[in-house]
Amino acid sequence: MKRIAFFILLLIFSSCAKIPVQTIKLTDAVIEEGQRMHQLNLLLIEKMFADKRERIDLFIEGEYIPKYLANFQKNIPEETNYKEEFTGMMNSIIPHIIKQRNLMHTALETQRVKLISKINADYLVYEQATAQLKALIESAVKVNDERTLAFEQLADITNNSIDLNKLDQILDDYIGKAGEIGENLDVHSRSLDQAINSLLNK
């Protein structure tokens, strides 16, 4: 949407010696559409991460706990009295599972906050650039330096879009790998951070 807005405004300025009144209305429509798309992007990111949080919980319950319990049971001596040792075993098992779940949720939340901050920062620059363009239209000022600066700001925004399909794959890969028994969660969390940074800085 931001790329389309940029080219519409670029064509208007490039082709019109005199700026018609209708151009202001078109600019307002472009700005409103940019706001709408920004809100949709935020909602989509929030929905995606909510789904991933739910998937983590389902993974912990349906896959991680059975695997962990099976692995735990293998290390219990045969002569163990389960009735006497039950409380102790539960005191060992439950905190570990809760910690695993919390670590995965925390890593996910860190990336959610980072992505939302990036999207909001990009939109703020876009908003400032379109405000400058609207001011130029309304005043009919033809100052090439100001116009070029506004165009450059908008052009920068078009190169900073986030590939949501790639983001979805990165998050799925993290959940799958980080939940394996015996895996180093810190390593996977750092890999997630690097992958998200790569996506944001492409």
| CA 98/CA 100 separation, integer angstroms | 5
Give the pLDDT confidence of 108-130 residue by residue, as tens digits: 999 999 999 999 998 888 888 88
Give the pLDDT confidence of 49-86 residue by residue, as tens digits: 999 999 999 999 999 999 988 888 888 887 777 777 77
The pLDDT of residue 114: 93
| CA 97/CA 65 separation, integer angstroms | 7
The domains of the chain are located at 2-200
| CA 153/CA 34 separation, integer angstroms | 15
- pTM for the model: 0.63
For the chain, what is the mean pLDDT?
A: 77
User: For residues 129, 130, 133 and 134, what is the CA-based torsion angle, rounded to 10 degrees?
Assistant: -140
pLDDT of 200 higher than 70? yes
Taking CA atoms, 101 is separated from 60, 63, 98, 105, in Å, by 7, 12, 5, 6
